[in-house]
Every structure is written in structure tokens, then in C-alpha cells.
């Protein structure tokens, strides 16, 4: 992605999730990292790398383990944005837990965005749960800001 836009990336990820849902395929878990290009000819440009889950991500403990892989990729790519798409049984609005597609996006210094879509109907309809901050977030802090390395500030 030469002209990176988080909104475009999220739209693509949500469309891919909807395509997977309509094909009745499994959501094994997918991570993505947006950072500096690791290719010399593209130096300085932002690119998006995908991190497929080695084991199906279906529980919060597995999500935490998968997040460790995404954190490592984020550090290597000097990332500003990283995220995870998976399926978890969660309770929404006090209802019984049900199969839900979760899109968790962490933007360095900008909080975390969480989108969810129940696996019902013909298409996935993602609901934006807003921006979560480390102290009061929807999911556990999967990609904490410290994992990006030391914070450097200039005066």
C-alpha cells in the first residue's frame, strides 16, 4: 500500500471478512501490521504485512498468544498501526455469548478501535465500538504501547 489510509485498510479487511463469512469458511485469525517498508527500494513508504494465525484464534487466551506474534511483527516493522481479525464467542448488550467476528485495531498513541459483527444474516455488519484507551478498554490490552519499544520524545 503506497498511499496508506486506515479507513481503506479497514474497509478491505471487513470486506474480506464478509466474503469469508458468505463462503461459510472458518475465521482462523489474521493479524496485520502497517509500518515502514522492509524493502530497500520502497524505503520510507508504509506497507501492510499480514500475519496468519498458526492455531485457530477462538478464545481470549489464544488471542493473547497470537497478539504476541503481532507485537513482534509490529516492532520489526516500526509499526504505527497493528490489528487482529478473529472470531470469539462474546456477549453483546447483556445477551448470551454468540459467535462474533472481532476486528481489533491498535494505533500507536491513538488508542484502540474495536469493531464487532455477529455471525447472523447474509452479510456481516460491523458495529464500531469506538476508541478504547489502555485504562478502560473493551478487550484486554493485547498490543500495549510499551510493546512498540521505548517512547522517544523531543523537546
Are 102 and 114 spatial neighbours (Cβ–Cβ below 8 Å)? yes
Nearest to 23 by CA among 136, 124, 111, 93: 124
Mean pLDDT of 71-86: 86
Are 87 and 27 spatial neighbours (Cβ–Cβ below 8 Å)? yes
Residue 37: helix, strand or coil by DSSP? coil
Q: Where are the domains of the chain?
A: 6-148
| pLDDT for 150 beyond 50 | yes
Give the model's pLDDT for residue 117: 92
pTM of the model: 0.79
Amino acid at each position: 500500500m503506497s498511499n496508506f489510509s486506515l479507513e481503506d485498510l479497514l474497509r478491505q479487511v471487513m470486506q474480506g471478512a464478509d466474503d469469508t463469512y458468505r463462503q461459510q469458511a472458518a475465521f482462523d485469525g489474521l493479524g496485520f501490521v502497517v509500518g515502514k517498508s522492509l524493502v530497500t527500494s520502497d524505503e520510507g513508504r508504509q506497507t501492510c504485512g499480514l500475519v496468519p494465525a498458526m492455531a485457530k484464534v477462538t478464545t481470549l487466551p489464544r488471542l493473547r498468544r497470537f497478539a504476541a506474534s503481532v507485537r513482534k511483527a509490529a516492532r520489526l516493522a516500526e509499526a504505527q498501526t497493528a490489528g487482529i481479525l478473529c472470531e470469539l464467542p462474546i456477549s453483546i448488550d447483556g445477551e448470551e455469548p454468540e459467535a462474533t467476528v472481532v476486528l481489533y485495531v491498535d494505533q500507536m498513541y491513538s488508542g484502540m478501535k474495536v469493531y464487532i459483527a455477529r455471525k447472523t444474516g447474509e452479510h456481516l455488519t460491523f458495529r464500531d465500538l469506538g476508541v478504547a484507551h489502555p485504562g478502560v478498554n473493551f478487550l484486554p490490552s493485547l498490543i500495549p504501547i510499551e510493546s512498540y519499544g521505548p517512547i522517544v520524545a523531543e523537546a
